[in-house]
Chain A
Amino acid sequence: MSRQSVAKAHQKIQELSWEPAYHEPVSQYGTDYSFQKAQKKDPLKQVLRSYFPMQEEKDHRVYGAADGAIRGNMFRQVQERWLEWQKLFLSIIPLPEISAARAMPLLFRTVPNPELHNGQAIQMIDEVRHSTIQQNLKRLYMNNYIDPAGFNSSLRNFQNDYCGTIGRQFAEGFITGDAITAASIYLTIVAETAFTNTLFVAMPAEAAANGDYLLPTVFHSVQSDESRHISNGYATLLMALSDEGNHQLLARDLRYAWWNNHRVVDAAIGTFIEYGTKDRRKDRESYAEMWRRWIYDDYYRSYLVPLEKYGLEIPHDLIEESWNQIWNKGYVHEVAQFFATGWLANYWRIDPMTDKDFEWFEFKYPGWYEKYGKWWENYNRLSMPNGHKPIVFEDVDYEYPHRCWTCMVPCLVREDMVMAKVDGQWRTYCHEMCKWTDETAFRPTYQGRQTPNMGQLIGHREWETLYHGWNWADVVSDMGFVRDDGKTMVAQPHLDLNPDKMWTLDHLRRCPPLQSPNVLLNEMSDDERTAFAARYVRGGPAGRAPADG
């Protein structure tokens, strides 16, 4: 902007907001929080006259890089191990992005400060940007990467598949339930402020190390909008804190949002970064090291803790517990192993780990080999079809886990599994916190207080239920994860594209039927169920049966 300074222009556009004199705008979303109407400052200080050209300029760089990548034959140097995981990631992420756009109106009536609404509208259109620019990146991968399978069916896949469903929480949590819980605490205070660093900064660095410099270009461009959104969230949080009546709800929502983000984002991004890379330099940061830096130091120590003096009750115990899960309980390794166990239900290929990978894991996570090494050797051994079945049906000392009703990631750290009968159904949870989320947080009362606006966990949350009793060939066809010859699977437990080495529906036809752990759990007698739980928590690590049987 030339003559008028941005500050002056911004001052001027404050004159735009007005209070209704004749009719109140429609109120469609509720909250149990209360806000005082007070003069506030627009935290964004963004004027569209400079905003649009700024974004257009960023676009020029992104699309310029995209052209360059194609002209420069970037895909001759891209690691397939890495790009295969993008079939999962990029199938999910455009929905959370667009859901963030859709979430903004939840705040219009519930946070009665028109000064904030300008920033929320800009965030809305930023998110439209993020969603479509990511779709565009995926389209480019589909067109230029060796194996388009899984990219070409992307937005059908993520709606059908259990991994996509796990990821969808990171979208639906923004747009439903109590408006402040959803669009402010879960979306901006936790998802954006804490976890976008790992998504959009740590992950791109790993992409670059695997020969893909387009993903960093797109995601850094996305991340450059994120600081604005963080300011939106911060302004709302401070307002919420100024009313003591909100403190109890803030504490509840931070606990729920933190734990859910940890369960979902660490599972996915942790797996991509640790198991999707070929870069095994010892001095490259592990996911645990990145987590310590971006999430523990930058978010927890520098952002959250200073808010304690304003009365924010910080879930110190859960932050430490998340670290404990990542560092001591192998959370990311357990998840990656599960994804690979269940490769046949996926729509991407998972490369076996090699000695070089083992060495790196052992260096970064001492004791890794003793827990996971044997299993990955078996995975490698069983990767090409050769008369045997997929690894999940073979005897490799791995017990198929029960699923967590809340976060929908399986109960992989076996000792933490808890069980409860909720809404008339026996459910398993991966951790006490996920049980609390279902039993206590997402309910119309909380600690004796009425919370009529709190949302509900809904849906058919255990994927296996849908296919209980089905033959696996029919399961995979039903989901549509089959290539154009009508029989070769999209998913493969290796990267060899020689058609003779690829698994087909015929291989699956000979496998035992799929059994839903939750259906079986509910068919058990009380005694059987008690015995089941007592045995389950003695299992692991790495999915092993209890040592004493």
Chain B
Amino acid sequence: MTATQDSPQVRSVPQPVFTDAEAGAKVFPDSTERHFNYYTPQKRKQSHYEDVTVEVQPDPRHYLSQGWLYGFSDGRGGYPLDWTVLKAWGSDRPEPARGPGTGGKGYDWPATGWHEFRDPNEEWEMTLYRYNSNVVRQVTQNVEAARQSKAFEQWNRNWIRFIEHHVGAWMHVDHGLGLYLFANANRRAPTNMHNNAISVNSMHRIRAAQDLALYNLTLSEELPDFDGSAHLETWNSDPAWQGVRDLAERLTAIDDWCEAIFAANVVFEPLVGELFRSQLVQQASPGNGDFVTPTVVGAAEYDFAERDLRYTRAMFELLTADKEFADHNKAIMQDWLSDWTTRAIEAARTMQPLWSQPDSKPPRFEDGLDRAKSRFSGIVIGLGLEEPKELAQ
């Protein structure tokens, strides 16, 4: 039997009730205390970013009264401060001791200088999805417009080779660092502000890698003689790339999370990443009739120059200006600079043969490297460090 119109189903639904549970409906203690009262904002007012970020990851030095509950096999839990050799003020004070009748109070918030870091990009979920969606939409549209106007067909043979081998090979750098350096480091830092900023950086790199891979796929579909797998052979065996590959792998092998971010964003990116993207690809493309590749590569360049470098600077400036450990930190970072600058310059020089491959040549390698070096110097000096002598190599 089917239900007929004169036997309507009685639906069981919760009834709305007027409760007047709205802000301001009554006056009582705390009725106007509408801000998070457990942290001090960086600026005068608490920002939306701070509200959704600060204190989500606890620290036994201020509020976590019962301490961490689960540890590794060595009995250490949470986010040990010695996962980096750098220090922020307060780092050397012991965790508050707890036992019968000790109470739960720790040091006054923030307890250590680590908690003073704020991501100047103010990244949280809303911003990161908006930003990256805009990038992928823009890149997709640019490539699509080029495809429709048959822009790729003007490319000469050598330029096609250059794109398939060398622009293609860079996707592996982005992917490897995105996963094994940045995503890996999101487990390592002592505050939620650090780890969120690092995870956003990770997604920029992984997205940039995929942008290049999908661009490569479009080109394989559009250009009959474009070899979509050439990037693999280049990455695996082209001698001009083995310096970069060696260095990228070495970066993923760093244990200290601060050293990893520092080596990648303060040294590798300006001296190798920007050298490749800005001094080579962006400069060579127009002369070879290519107006599309710069928009794809430019997206990654913008990620780094405008977002990732920005938080990196804020993160390390705080440590080189630390009220307790500035000298300690600067000495270590200076050593890191020496080590990684040597390696980065070596990797950059190994890439030099790339400069002579396009028909229409980019500006000279040495000029490009000089520009990369002076940009790098500016970053280093801005952090309160000295330009390493290894830069002269």
Contacts and interface: CB of A to CB of B under 8 A. Distances in A.
A155 B55 contact: yes
A322 interface: no
Contact of B29 (A24, A468, A488): A488
Contacts of A465: 98-100
Interface in B16-31: 16-26, 28-31
Contact of B56 (A48, A94, A160): A94
A248 B253 CA distance: 32
B202 A77 contact: no
B201 to A, nearest CB: 11
Interface residues of B, number: 116
Contacts of B202: 121, 124-125
Contacts of A143: 23, 34
Contacts of B78: 172, 176
A457 interface: yes
Contacts of B101: 466-470
A2 B144 CA distance: 9
Interface string B171-188: 110011011100111111
Interface string B317-334: 000000000000000000
Interface string A29-62: 1100000000000000001110011011001000
Interface string B243-267: 0011001101111000000000000
B192 interface: yes
B69 A17 contact: no
Given A20-B249, A152-B30, A283-B12, A48 B73 contact: no
Contact of B68 (A3, A25, A83, A459): A459
Contact of B171 (A16, A23, A129, A457): A16
B22 A76 contact: yes
Contacts of A22: 245-246, 249-250
Contacts of B98: 460, 465-466
B42 to A, nearest CB: 17
B136 interface: yes
A296 to B, nearest CB: 24
Nearest to A456: B71
B70 A455 contact: yes
A362 B186 CA distance: 49
Contacts, number: 394
B63 A146 contact: no
B69 A105 contact: no
A79 B125 contact: no
B214 A145 contact: no
A483 B36 CA distance: 13
A116 B10 CA distance: 49
Given A133-B125, A463-B66, A52 B207 contact: yes
Given A73-B22, A466-B98, A128 B196 contact: yes
Contacts of A309: none
Contacts of A48: 132, 136, 203, 206-207, 210
A252 interface: no
A281 B14 contact: yes
A156 interface: yes
Contacts of A121: 178-179, 183, 202-203, 206
Contact of A21 (B77, B185, B249): B249
B195 interface: yes
B272 to A, nearest CB: 15
A458 B29 contact: no
A15 B231 contact: yes
Contacts of A502: 28-29
Contacts of A77: 16-19, 21
Interface stretch (A5-13, A235-243, A313-321, A375-383): A5-13
B218 A4 contact: yes
Given A52-B136, A478-B105, A279 B217 contact: no
A142 B38 CA distance: 14
B152 to A, nearest CB: 14
B133 to A, nearest CB: 4
B265 to A, nearest CB: 17
A350 interface: no
A217 interface: no
A309 B255 CA distance: 41
9 contacts: A59-B126, A63-B126, A154-B36, A155-B36, A173-B70, A279-B14, A460-B99, A468-B100, A484-B30
Top 3 A-B residue pairs of the complex, sorted by shortest distance between their CB atoms:
A483-B29, A156-B38, A209-B14
Given A23-B246, A139-B52, A519-B100, 17 more contacts: A4-B214, A21-B236, A52-B132, A75-B23, A102-B195, A104-B186, A131-B56, A135-B52, A142-B34, A145-B21, A156-B37, A455-B72, A456-B75, A474-B103, A488-B30, A498-B28, A499-B29
